[in-house]
Structure 1
Amino acid sequence: MSLSKSLLFPRLKVASIAFRAIQTSSSLQSGHHIEYWWGHEKAAGREVVGHGVSGEPVYQDRLDYWYPAIRFRVDDETSKALREKEKGDWKNLSVDDKKMLYRYSYRQTLAEFEAPTGYWKVITSIVFFVISCATFYAIFLNRFVYPALPPTFDNDYKEAAIERQLVLEKGQFLGPAKYYDYEKGQWKR
């Protein structure tokens, strides 16, 4: 016998409600295009015109799927009159009427959706700011936190260590002794 999730995880329900409240009207990032997604909570009063990309009644501006499941705006008196005119001959509609019908169904045109937003400037400035902060932090650490280099990094110390190895490993066939000629007192060529 198992307990329900609400009894096992009482805080999970509160977290999911809070997450759902945040998720009902948010902007999602897809490449460099911003998508607008309105969930079930905001679908009330809007006409369902299709099944959408996922089969749920949500409004979503997407470049790969242009047709949302619901209309962008809630119907009011103006839109209802236009919808009645729309059922007739489209030659009787003015250009402003057609534009208004479009704006009741969609948030923006494809040209508006694909227009550059200039958001790359914000991203670039943030990247350069982070790089400069990291550079100044590294300079601070090298200057004030890390100790000076130990004497083992000096060239004199390295030469003395190699001479010590040559003396201690005389006659061995591996290591620096292999490349040193003890009779002539110089490195083999």
Structure 2
Amino acid sequence: NHFFNLFILKISSLGYSIPAAALGISIIVLFVFLDKFFHMSLLGNSLLVLVFAYIIRFLAGAIYSLEGGYNKIHLNIDEASLNLRASYFILFFKIHTPLMKHFLFLAFIIVFIDTIKELPLSRILAPFGFETLSVKAFWFASDERIYDAALPSLFIVFLSLMVVVWMDKITRKDDVRN
């Protein structure tokens, strides 16, 4: 069981190690196959494809930050709660989730910042007329409209900074309480 879990963990981290352009092309091939297999043309150029690609790409960052937090929870806590006849549901939601809230926020921050910065997947997989901030900045910069590219670029930096400051504030507030 441990080896299977480790295998799944390593497989899920492949999305982050594969170049985004190769991942994007692979996902296009997968969804074209699914469209032909199910005789539909709904999936090929939809936002669902982009979200699926983001999940594959950034799952590793979230998993590894959550794994780091989960490893800090001592096994005695699980054993004590199970000895007190708590269900696994109660163990997860009443004990593990509050202990892991900082790591859940960290996983959210990592995925959020990486998502707003991601350019290759957004350019390859975004539906027609859908542009992310990074794509908009890229198009302005490629047209040598540097002043126009500055606003989306600064907004990406501002959003990233706001999320990091928000996480720092929450962490400091909890440190003061403890």
Q: Normalising by the residue count of structure 1, what TM-score does the alignment of the two structures yield?
A: 0.23
Q: Normalising by the residue count of structure 2, what TM-score does the alignment of the two structures yield?
A: 0.24
Bigger relative contact order, structure 1 or 2 (CA pairs below 8 A, ≥6 apart): 2
Higher strand residue share: 1
